[in-house]
Amino acid sequence: AQSVTQLDSQVPVFEEAPVELRCNYSSSVSVYLFWYVQYPNQGLQLLLKYLSGSTLVKGINGFEAEFNKSQTSFHLRKPSVHISDTAEYFCAVSLPSSNTGKLIFGQGTTLQVKP
């Protein structure tokens, strides 16, 4: 079975500082990897995804993530955060072999950007 672990439940950071949100997954088969963000009172929105190819993936709002197969990690980074990045971030996987596309989520990380 697959599982996703987000190592930090909350990450406080000052505005304009860099941030890394950590995500590790467990799977005996290949997976696709996703990061979603949920702003207050909104649905989840896709930030970026890794399907294949270059291990460095760039997403919206200046975020990027790097797939590391040997460490089974997919950490999310941003070099300089804004107040507006305050939200909850979810790492998720799906199975390429699946015919459903269901997502398996981590527990979420709340990013708190302070002025």
Which positions lie near another protein, rule CB under 8 A?
4, 32, 36, 41-46, 49, 51, 90, 94-108
Handedness of CA 28, 30, 32, 33 (dihedral sign): positive
AA letter at 13? V
d(CA 50, CA 32): 6
Smallest separation (angstroms) from another protein to the CB of 72: 17
Query: What is the chain's percent helix, strand, coil content, to nearest 5?
Result: 5, 50, 45
User: Given the complex with another protein, which of 15 and 110 has the nearer CB atom?
Assistant: 110
User: Given the complex with another protein, which of 17 and 56 has the nearer CB atom?
Assistant: 56
User: Given the complex with another protein, which of 15 and 72 has the nearer CB atom?
Assistant: 72
Smallest separation (angstroms) from another protein to the CB of 50: 10
